[in-house]
């Protein structure tokens, strides 16, 4: 039976893992390759590196991080953040990434999804969608540039569209829930998961083991992503998976 996936996400800047600390901003949190190895040993099903570097120098560092990780860790590795075109995708896949996630670039140039899927296969292309509930509470709107700019697209419609364009998977982040640790947006996740025929990774809001249970059960997600929860050692992946297994969710243990 296909298991539900638990995916830790690492924010990487200039080739180093960073984490945000209140009042201090971003602080160095270690070597991404080491952390990837640790998550792999703890039972992570996949890994996501999110490149939050702004400079092109830093982007080269990302490819190097991917190269070193892919030589040691043999589970699927997705890289996202700032990917603008086929050249970026090519560089990351060459370095050993298995998938790339496209966010802002996919909204600005939807044809990129199709072009990338034809060149590398749908399985390589993850559409990352950042969604925020509309002010009138009637559905969700897509945001780009790291959740800063609304683009007037309905999130569920956009998810259906990225599937048509050739994306193999959707990484769906709730801007409303992100960082609050009060649980995933179950309504948004379920709505998208029921509207598309490709797998959906839920992201944003995980605070407890029960949140994962709910996003699989009520949110109908195929995978759940979390960053800080695993990062700060608040929840250990294997422990989480044992909890999910006893709750009747199929996981890889």
Partner 1 sequence: MKLAIVDYGAGNIYSLEKALWHIGVETVVTSERRVLEGCSGIVLPGVAAFNDAALRIRDHDLSEVLRRQVKEGKLLLGICLGMQLFFEESEEGGCVPRTEGLGLLKGKVVRLPEGLKVPHMGWNTLEITKQGRALKGIGSGSFSYFVHSYYASAAETDCISATTDYGVQIPAVLEKDNVVGMQFHPEKSGETGMQILKNIKEMLK
Among all residues, which ones are annotated catalytic? Answer: 11, 130
According to DSSP, the residues that pair with 140 across neighbouring strands are 133
Integer angstrom CA distances of residue 208 from 48, 65, 149, 230, 239:
20, 30, 29, 11, 11
Provide, rounded to whole angstroms, the least separation between the CB of residue 6 and partner 1.
10
Task: Name which of 3, 1, 13 is nearest 57 in CA terms.
Answer: 13
Determine what percent of the chain falls in helix, strand and coil, rounding each to the nearest 5.
40, 25, 35
Quick one: 1 or 135, whose CB is closer to partner 1?
A: 1
Quick one: 113 or 122, whose CB is closer to partner 1?
A: 122
Quick one: 186 or 223, whose CB is closer to partner 1?
A: 223
Provide, rounded to whole angstroms, the least separation between the CB of residue 77 and partner 1.
8
Quick one: 197 or 233, whose CB is closer to partner 1?
A: 197
Provide, rounded to whole angstroms, the least separation between the CB of residue 215 and partner 1.
15
Provide, rounded to whole angstroms, the least separation between the CB of residue 44 and partner 1.
10
Q: What are phi and psi of 106, to 5 degrees?
A: -70, -35
Provide, rounded to whole angstroms, the least separation between the CB of residue 135 and partner 1.
32
Burial of 154 (0-12, 13-18, 19+ CB in 10 A): middle
Spatial separation of the C-alpha atoms in residues 215 and 81, rounded to whole Å: 24
Applying CB under 8 A, the residues found at the interface with partner 1 are 1-5, 40, 45, 70-72, 74-77, 93-96, 98, 118-124, 168-169, 197-199, 222-223, 252
Q: How far apart are the first and last CA of the chain?
A: 13
Spatial separation of the C-alpha atoms in residues 47 and 79, rounded to whole Å: 8
Quick one: 40 or 189, whose CB is closer to partner 1?
A: 40
């Amino acid at each position: 039976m296909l298991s539900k996936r638990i995916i830790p996400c690492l924010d990487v800047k200039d080739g180093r893992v960073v984490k945000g600390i209140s009042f201090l901003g971003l602080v160095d949190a270690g070597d991404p390759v080491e952390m990837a190895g640790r998550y792999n040993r703890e039972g992570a099903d996949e890994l996501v590196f999110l490149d939050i570097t702004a400079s092109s120098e830093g982007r080269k560092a990302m490819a190097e991080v991917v190269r070193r990780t892919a030589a040691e860790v043999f589970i699927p590795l997705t890289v996202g953040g700032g990917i603008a075109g086929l050249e970026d995708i090519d560089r990351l896949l060459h370095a050993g990434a298995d998938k790339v996630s496209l966010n802002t670039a996919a909204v600005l140039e939807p044809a990129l999804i199709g072009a990338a899927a034809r060149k590398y296969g749908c399985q390589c292309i993850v559409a990352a969608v950042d969604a925020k509930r509309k002010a009138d509470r009637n559905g969700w709107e897509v945001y780009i540039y790291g959740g800063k700019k609304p683009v007037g697209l309905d999130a569920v419609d956009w998810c259906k569209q990225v599937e048509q364009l050739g994306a193999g998977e959707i990484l769906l982040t709730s801007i409303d829930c992100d960082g609050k640790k009060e649980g995933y947006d179950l309504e948004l996740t379920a709505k998208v998961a029921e509207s598309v025929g490709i797998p959906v990774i839920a992201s944003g809001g995980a605070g407890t083991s029960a949140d994962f249970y709910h996003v699989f059960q009520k949110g109908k997600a195929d995978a759940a992503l979390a960053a800080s929860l695993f990062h700060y050692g608040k929840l250990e992946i294997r422990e989480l998976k044992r909890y999910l297994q006893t709750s009747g969710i199929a996981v890889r243990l």
